[in-house]
Amino acid sequence: MPMNSALLIEGALVPASGGNTFATINPATETVLGRAADADADDMDRAIGAARAAFDDTDWSRDTALRVHCLRQLRDALNDEIEQLRSITVAEVGAPVSLTYGGQLQMPVDGLGYVADLAEAYAWTTDLGPAAPFGKPTGRTVVREPCGVVGAVTPWNFPHQINFAKLGPALAAGNAVVLKPAPDTPWCAAEVGRIIHDHTDFPPGVINIVTSGDHRVGAQLTEDPRVDLVSFTGSTATGRAVMVAASHTIKRVFLELGGKSAYVVLDDADLPAACASAAAGVAMHAGQGCAFTTRLLVPRARYDEAVEAASTAMSGIGFGDPTDPATLCGPLISARQRDRVEGYLKIALAEGGRFGCGGGRPVEPSSGFYIEPTVIAGLGNDARVAREEIFGPVLTVIAHDGDADAVRIANDSPYGLSGAVVGTDQDRVDWVASRLRTGTINVNGGVWYSPDAPFGGYKQSGIGREMGLAGFEEYLETKLIAKGVQ
């Protein structure tokens, strides 16, 4: 797998200035795939300077036609090399190959076309019409302008989705960007840097991609006064640190954080089908999705039946080699993440829970960071495994006592990212959906993920929205020009 391991700074592919590299690991085999450039503070300083100059000293922010052209070029170039990107994504992320035809690769690449179209059609100015505030005749125009330099910091679980959901709208809006991808998935971003360099007309400095094994290089983006907006996706704990650091220079922050979403099964639903669907949703990509519905809320009278149905489905899905098209649940990203998930499984037992299936590392294969898809039963919503994000293939089944109780339990969480409701009576389903305090909800199997649909969280799941019109406007400032009329 020939791979780019350079940084993209000021339009050039360069090694880290200190000459350092760090290993990137295949989580399915624990083998070293190769090495990525390990940027330090000097490299990040140059990348921020390059972005600042590209924004301040060129026409990029005013030339919508150039931006639309470059974004369409990038989408097409990525599609031309999609098989290479697919191989990297499966190898570096441990992502099941089947998911790369959707949210893990193809849909985010196609989403660049959506933001290009949006920028082309967007009403950048709005005339508010004549008025005479304080008796002074005035013509007023609202102008939408890019924020300036965007620092984008991203995690490893869906690297292309999250990288492109930031790069696309930030660039379409006219900003210059410095992207700092996660240390676990540097190649996914570095290869995009190579494609930008080789096949697109983005002016130097408009996009900079800085891989590093050191989290402090990401923190630099949150502190540097030359950065106007930080767009961050990752854990709530890191999001809190980003917000604090950004407060010193009053940067705008856009945060996509953790989740502990509820899948609510009403008493008139097809319970076995609903439980099987909930199990599949959490086994997918070994549960490493912020919006996965990891709490299954079922009618108390049918609790045991629900645990059985979810466990049968989870065991049937199992886990496997991510290169196998039939695999839904691959490995976790790292030994550290597997240790964390195992820690939560021990906590579940210590708090009085039991496993409907799974419960730890499989004996085979002996390599790869696998965890058996696991159903936890016998605990309430106050258990730690019901309150904290595990980020593994682990579903906790909780009993509810009717629609209002299900809403209460679902909302009794520090998070508010996503959710699901299933039932037959549409009025009851709508009643529940309208009361869930979350950014997205799947009702009776509806799919909320799409480039034109806003995604983001309530409460400690984040601030702002990614994708859709709202996700584009996150990267814009609003200016009012008031002209005196003679």
- Of 210 and 357, which has the nearer Cβ to ligand NAD? 210
Which residues in 242-261 contact ligand NAD (CB under 6 A)? 242, 256-259
CA 259 to chain centre: 11
| Smallest separation, CB 301 to ligand NAD (Å) | 33
Indicate whether 281 belongs to the interface with ligand NAD (CB under 6 A).
no
Residues 447-476 that bind ligand NAD (CB under 6 A): 457, 462
* Nearer to ligand NAD among residue 355 and residue 369 (C-beta): 369
Window of 26-34, 109-117, 155-163, 420-428 that interacts with ligand NAD by CB under 6 A: 155-163
HSE-CB of 452 using CA atoms within 13 angstroms: 6
- Is residue 234 involved in binding ligand NAD (CB under 6 A)? yes
Distance CA 371, CA 341 (A): 8
**Backbone phi and psi for residue 224, each to the nearest 5 degrees, phi listed first:** -70, 125
Nearest-angstrom CA–CA distance, 342 and 304: 24
Using the rule CB under 6 A, is 183 a contact of ligand NAD? yes
Find residue 482's DSSP bridge partners. 140
Specify the residue, 259 or 373, whose C-beta has the smaller distance to ligand NAD: 259
Distance, CA of 244 to chain centre? 21
With respect to ligand NAD, which residue has the nearer C-beta, 73 or 293? 293
Distance CA 223, CA 217 (A): 10
Closest separation in Å from C-beta 249 to ligand NAD: 14
Which uninterrupted H or E stretch holds 304? helix 303-317
List 94, 111, 205, 218, residue binding ligand NAD (CB under 6 A): 218
Residue 382's contacts (CB-CB under 8 Å, 6 or more residues apart) are: none
Q: How far is the CB of 466 from ligand NAD (least distance, A)?
A: 7
Q: Rule CB under 6 A: is residue 284 a binding residue for ligand NAD?
A: no
155 or 359: CB nearest ligand NAD: 155
Judged by beta carbon, residue 106 or residue 157, the one nearer ligand NAD is 157
Can you say how many angstroms the Cα of residue 169 is from the centroid of all Cα atoms in its chain? 14
The amino acid sitting at 292 is F
Omega of the bond leading into 186 within 30 degrees of 0 (cis): no
In the complex, the smallest distance separating the C-beta of residue 309 from ligand NAD, rounded to whole angstroms, is: 26
For ligand NAD, the closer CB: 207 or 242: 242
Nearer to ligand NAD, 274 or 283 (CB): 283
Q: Which amino acid is at 35?
A: R
How many CB atoms within 10 Å of residue 235?
15
Sole binder of ligand NAD in the list 44, 118, 153, 276 (CB under 6 A):
153
- Write down the least CB distance from residue 182 to ligand NAD, Å: 4
Query: Given candidates 157, 175, 374, 396, which one binds ligand NAD under the rule CB under 6 A?
Result: 157
Q: Is 254 helix (H, G, I), strand (E, B) or coil?
A: strand
Of 153-161, 295-303, 318-326, 398-406, the window that binds ligand NAD (rule: CB under 6 A) is: 153-161
Give the DSSP H/E element, type plus range, for residue 230: strand 229-233
Contact assessment for residue 246 and residue 205, using Cβ atoms and an 8 Å cutoff: no
Residue 389 touching ligand NAD (CB under 6 A) = yes
- How many of the chain's residues bind ligand NAD (CB under 6 A)? 29
Is the Cα torsion angle 192, 114, 439, 393 positive or negative in sign?
negative
Given the complex with ligand NAD, which of 258 and 320 has the nearer CB atom?
258
Q: How far apart are CA 215 and CA 221, in angstroms?
A: 11
By CB under 6 A, residue 233 contacts ligand NAD: yes
Interface region with ligand NAD, contact rule CB under 6 A, candidates 202-210, 238-246, 352-360, 446-454: 238-246
Residues in a beta bridge with 263 = 296, 420
Stretch that binds ligand NAD, among 118-126, 148-156, 307-315, 478-486 (CB under 6 A): 148-156
- Pairing relation of β-strands 7-9 and 21-26? unpaired
Q: Are 30 and 334 in contact (CB under 8 A)?
A: no
Among the listed ranges 81-89, 127-135, 178-186, 355-363, the one in contact with ligand NAD (CB under 6 A) is: 178-186
Indicate whether 111 belongs to the interface with ligand NAD (CB under 6 A): no
Residue from 156, 254, 370, 472 in contact with ligand NAD (CB under 6 A): 156
Please report how close the Cβ of residue 402 comes to ligand NAD at its closest, in angstroms: 30
The whole-angstrom separation of Cα 168 and Cα 252 is 18
Phi, psi dihedral angles at 314 (to 5 degrees): -60, -45
Among residues 191, 256, 466, 474, the one annotated as catalytic is 256
Residue 256 annotated to the active site: yes
Site of tokens 């008139």? 268
267 belongs to the binding site for ligand NAD (CB under 6 A):
no
Q: How many whole angstroms from its chain centre is CA 36? A: 22
Q: What's the token pair of residue 228?
A: 């106007």
Handedness of CA 89, 94, 100, 102 (dihedral sign): negative
Cα Rg, the chain, nearest whole Å: 23
For residue 287, the minimal CB distance to ligand NAD (Å) is 10
Of the two residues 78 and 230, which places its CB atom closer to ligand NAD in the complex?
Answer: 230
Positions in the binding site for ligand NAD (CB under 6 A): 153-157, 162, 180, 182-183, 215, 218-219, 222, 233-235, 238, 241-242, 256-259, 290, 389, 391, 417, 457, 462
Catalytic sites, residue numbers: 256
